Structure 1
Amino acid sequence: MSGTTQGRVADQIRAAIEAGEYPTGASLPSSDDLAKKYGVNRNTAQKAIRQLATEGYLELTRRHRPKVRERPRHLTVVRDRNVYRDEIGYFFDRNAKDWRALETPTRGVAVPPEHVADLLGVPRGQDVFTRHRKMGPPGAQTAYQVATSYIPMALVAEIPALGAAKPGPGGIYDRLEKHFDAPLEWHETICARHPDEEEQAALRLTGNSPVLVVTREARIRRGDEVLVAEVNETRMPATQFAVSYAVRRDSSAAWPRSEGVA
């Protein structure tokens, strides 16, 4: 249980929600009633409610009592540092192998975020081609993650399949490897931030519930040049995903240690 009074109240309300005392879609009692029930002041009860909203248990709307949201999906995917392949093509989340687009993916032209433009090596403010999809397991009503691919316009002109609604077997990654006759390599950077309005709607998050952002560069060699052919940004609720990887020894940490090394 949490150590603060606010945390203890949040623990009790959370337990009541998980026990079904407050079912999905039901409204919680007023802050005054909750304060009386748990023997705290109104301010503490309101802080506990805001905490549970941040965790995804409650939906807050002005001038309405807090409403219980669909039970938060607890840890669903542990990402590792490997790429896999099946009959469909490459995939990166082993636990999400069967996930598919929940609706028809969209394509378009847009100005990418500045850090994405820098990774692609295109001028900031210049349009690139985008492919956007909402992903989830079979039967899911709400996306578990949203992903956007950014591809330089010049590369789409060079390989038209990259911009097609159906790029073909293996998707855009197989088209790139076939065109350049070289294997792709990937580099990922992971950070957390607050979701924008689109992400809040797609993932059913509140504005102060963080998302985990995986920025993946797809690199391929063209002669002596290494080209960043695509940047993919995948966003997912930070409370439901984790990253797992092996910790490898650098040569400086080799075992057995050399004589004289502390």
Structure 2
Amino acid sequence: MTGTAQDRVAEQLRRAIEAGDYAAGESLPSGEKLADEYGVHRNTVQKAVRQLAGEGYLTLTRRHPPKVRDRPRHLTLVRDRSVYRDDLGYFFDRNAQDWRAVGPPTRGVVVPPEHVSDLLSVPRGQDVFFRDRKMGPPGAKTALQVATSYLSMALIAEIPALGAESTGPGGIYDRLEEHFRCALGWQETISARQPTSDEQSALHVPALSPVLVVTREARIQRDGETVVAEVNETRMSAAQFAVSYAVRRDASAAWPRGEGAA
């Protein structure tokens, strides 16, 4: 094992927590005991503990020993590259079909991240309209996902229902298809980053615990061209969710292989 003494202690504690040696809600041994166990100075243990707290493994409370956080790693978001529909409209995750808003949704005007401006073909630094929802399973008090839709101000002026408090049955996607009289298509990109302060609060994640970000472009045909009508960014704790999908064979990888194939 390489790295500093702090890294080595953090790695061993991390492995112990992952293996279940310390259960969720259980307190770690004292700093003195851990220092003796790992043969390091107590300050090294304290630094390793703070590192693991930042990663989301531990909860630190003043005058109390560190406690192991509840980290439900088997709650998996399955994104199978399909879009579905029920009585409420389109949805993109079978596992979250029955999820509802945790608290009232918000909407308004904001300067979006630069990559969102680029996708919407809006000049960087220019306002767009946003709709924000915090989502969770029935009865949840804490959101497990934060979803934000971004639309250009020009499109809001063209289709006022997109900016209304209630967008009507089927939501903004139905309004877009009704207005343009054609089907939407979607493209998703999945990335990871550190959470913003708002995401830390909404999702109850530590500052150093990454979030998964699913950036979905809703594409529509307009005047013979494909345009991005809406960008949705859904964020979730990377400690709680994974992305799973089927790997499909391209025609070039068909089986059985033809004669003479390597």
TM-score range, shorter chain: 0.7 to 0.9
Paired residue for 1:25? none
Which runs of 5 or more residues in structure 2 are unaligned?
Answer: 1-7
Q: How far is the alpha carbon of 1:260 from its aligned partner?
A: 4.2
Superimposed CA distance per residue, residues 221-253 of structure 1 (whole angstroms, 9 cap, x where no aligned partner): 123021211000011011221222222223332
Alignment of 1:190-209 (within 5 A): 190-209=190-209
Residue matched to 2:23: 18
| Aligned-residue offset at 1:179 | 1.1
Note the C-alpha offset of 1:184: 0.9
Q: What is the TM-score when the length of structure 2 is the normalising length?
A: 0.86
How many angstroms apart in 1 are the aligned matches of 2:177 and 2:216?
17
Segment drifting more, 216-225 vs 64-73: 64-73
Alpha-carbon separation, structure 1, partners of 2:69 and 2:161: 39
One-letter identity of the residue aligned with 1:235: R
Which residue does 1:233 correspond to in 2? 233
* 1:115 corresponding residue in structure 2: 115
- Bigger drift between 72-81 and 137-146 goes to 72-81
Contact between 2:111 and 2:125, CA under 8 Å: does it hold in 1?
Answer: yes
Q: Distance between the aligned counterparts of 1:235 and 1:208, measured in 2?
A: 15
The aligned counterpart of 2:5 is none
> Residue 16 and residue 230 in structure 1: after superposition, are their counterparts in 2 closer, same or farther (change >3 A)?
same
Q: Is the 8 A contact 2:24 2:70 kept in 1?
A: no
What 5-or-longer segments of structure 1 have no aligned partner? Answer: 23-27
| Alpha-carbon distance between aligned partners in 2 of 1:194 and 1:66, rounded to the nearest angstrom | 26
Alpha-carbon distance in structure 1 between the residues aligned to 2:223 and 2:51:
54
What letter corresponds to residue 172 of structure 2 in structure 1?
A: I
Distance 1:106 1:253 in 2: 47
Which residue identity is paired with 2:11?
G
Q: Helix, strand or coil for the counterpart of 2:161?
A: helix
- Alignment correspondent of 2:105: 105
Equivalent residue of 2:205, what SS? coil
2:184 is matched with 184
Q: One-letter code of the match for 2:100? A: R
**Distance verdict in 2 for CA 1:8–1:220, change over 3 Å:** same
Quick check: 1:8 aligned with 2:12?
Answer: yes
TM-score normalized by the length of structure 1: 0.86
Please report how far the alpha carbon of residue 190 of structure 1 lies from its aligned counterpart in structure 2 after TM superposition: 0.3
Equivalenced residues, count: 252
Q: In the aligned structure 1, how far is the partner of 2:66 from the partner of 2:127?
A: 41
8 Å CA contact retained: 1:106, 1:133: yes
Rounded to whole Å, the distance in 2 between the matches of 1:141 and 1:75 is 20
Alignment-derived partner of residue 249 in structure 1: 249
The alignment yields a C-alpha RMSD, in angstroms, of 2.4
Deviation for aligned residue 1:84: 1.2
Distance 1:239 1:13 in 2: 13
Contact in 1 for aligned 2:193/2:212 (Cα 8 Å):
yes
Whole-angstrom CA distance in 2 between matches of 1:225 and 1:29: 63
Is the Cα contact below 8 Å between 1:10 and 1:48 reproduced in 2? no
Q: Name the stretch that deviates more: 103-112 or 46-55.
A: 46-55
1:29 Cα deviation (Å)? 5.5
